[in-house]
C-alpha cells in the first residue's frame, strides 16, 4: 500500500512563529498557492482514498484533491493537530516566560510523555493514531492513500509506522505543504520519500 502524507500550507500562525494546534487558522496567500501546488502534484497519481484532518488548513488540500480526482474523502478526527493548550497563539518568547518548567521538560531527550500546558502529549497523539495505523496495515498492497494533516501528528505517525521511538520525531522535519511517502506491505514499512517540497512555488 502506498501512503502519501501531506502537511497543510502556511497560515498566519506559521508565518509569524506562533504556537498552533487546534485553532482553525486560515491559509495565507502563500498557503493558498502551496495548497494549489500540492493538489496539482498529488493529482498526477490519483489516490484510491483521501483522509484529512477536519481543520480547514489541511482539508483545503484534501478537498481540492477529491474534486480533481473523484477519490472518496474521509474526515478523520485523529488526524487533528496535537492540542497545544495554553501555548496556542503564543510567540516563543512569551511561551518561554510563561511556561519555563514545561520547556525544560520538553527539551529532555524523550519528551513523549510531557503534556503541553492544558493540552496533549506526543504519547497521547500516538495512542489516538494507533487504530488508524492498524487500518492502514490491513489495506491491499495496490491501494493508494493520501492523508493530509499537521506537523506533530505527521511526525509521530511516521515514527510509529517505522517502529521508531516517539522521541525520534526530532530527527526530521515535515515542512509546510511537503509530501512524504511510505510503502506498507503487511507489517513491513519502508520510507520512500521524506519532506519533499519540489512542487512548491
1 has pLDDT over 90? yes
Q: Positive or negative, the Cα torsion across 64, 69, 75, 78? A: negative
Confidence grade of residue 116 (pLDDT, cut at 50, 70, 90)? very high
Q: Decide if 156 contacts 130 (C-beta within 8 A).
A: no
Provide the grid cell at 50.
483521501
Determine if the pTM surpasses 0.85.
yes
CB-CB neighbours of 167 under 10 Å = 14
Say which residues have a Cβ less than 8 Å from residue 118's Cβ, sequence separation at least 6: 85, 86
187 has pLDDT over 90? no
Provide the grid cell at 43.
493529482
Alpha-carbon distance values, 8 to 36, 37, 157, 165 (Å): 11, 11, 15, 24
Q: Decide if 85 contacts 21 (C-beta within 8 A).
A: yes
Map out the domains of the chain with their CATH numbers: 2-179+186-195 (3.40.50.1240)
Q: Which residues carry out catalysis?
A: 8, 81
Q: pLDDT per residue over 9-27, tens digit each?
A: 999 999 999 999 999 999 9
d(CA 186, CA 183) in angstroms, rounded, equals: 10
3-state helix, strand, coil in the chain (%, to 5): 45, 20, 40
| Strands ordered across the beta sheet of 49-52 | 73-75, 49-52, 144-149, 2-7, 179-185, 188-196
Q: Decide if 116 contacts 85 (C-beta within 8 A).
A: yes
186 has pLDDT over 90? no
Q: pLDDT per residue over 126-167, tens digit each?
A: 999 999 999 999 999 999 999 999 999 999 999 999 999 999
Amino acid at each position: 500500500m502506498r501512503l502519501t502524507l501531506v502537511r497543510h500550507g502556511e497560515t498566519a500562525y506559521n508565518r509569524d512563529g506562533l504556537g498552533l494546534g487546534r485553532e482553525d487558522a486560515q491559509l495565507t496567500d502563500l498557503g493558498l498557492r502551496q495548497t494549489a501546488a500540492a493538489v496539482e502534484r498529488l493529482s498526477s497519481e490519483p489516490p484510491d482514498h483521501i483522509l484529512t484532518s477536519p481543520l480547514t488548513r489541511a482539508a483545503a488540500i484534501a478537498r481540492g484533491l477529491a474534486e480533481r480526482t473523484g477519490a472518496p474523502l474521509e474526515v478523520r478526527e485523529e488526524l487533528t493537530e496535537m492540542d497545544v493548550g495554553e501555548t496556542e497563539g503564543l510567540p516563543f518568547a512569551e511561551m518561554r516566560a510563561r511556561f519555563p518548567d514545561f520547556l525544560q521538560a520538553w527539551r529532555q531527550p524523550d519528551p513523549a510523555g510531557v503534556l503541553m500546558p492544558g493540552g496533549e502529549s506526543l504519547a497521547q497523539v500516538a495512542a489516538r493514531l494507533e487504530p488508524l495505523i492498524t487500518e492502514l496495515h490491513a489495506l491491499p498492497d495496490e491501494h493508494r492513500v493520501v492523508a493530509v494533516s499537521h506537523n506533530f501528528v505527521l511526525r509521530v505517525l511516521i515514527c510509529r509506522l517505522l517502529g521508531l521511538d516517539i522521541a525520534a520525531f526530532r530527527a526530521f522535519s515535515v515542512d509546510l505543504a511537503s509530501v512524504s511517502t511510505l510503502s506498507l506491505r503487511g507489517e513491513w514499512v519502508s520510507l520512500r520519500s521524506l519532506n519533499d517540497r519540489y512542487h512548491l512555488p
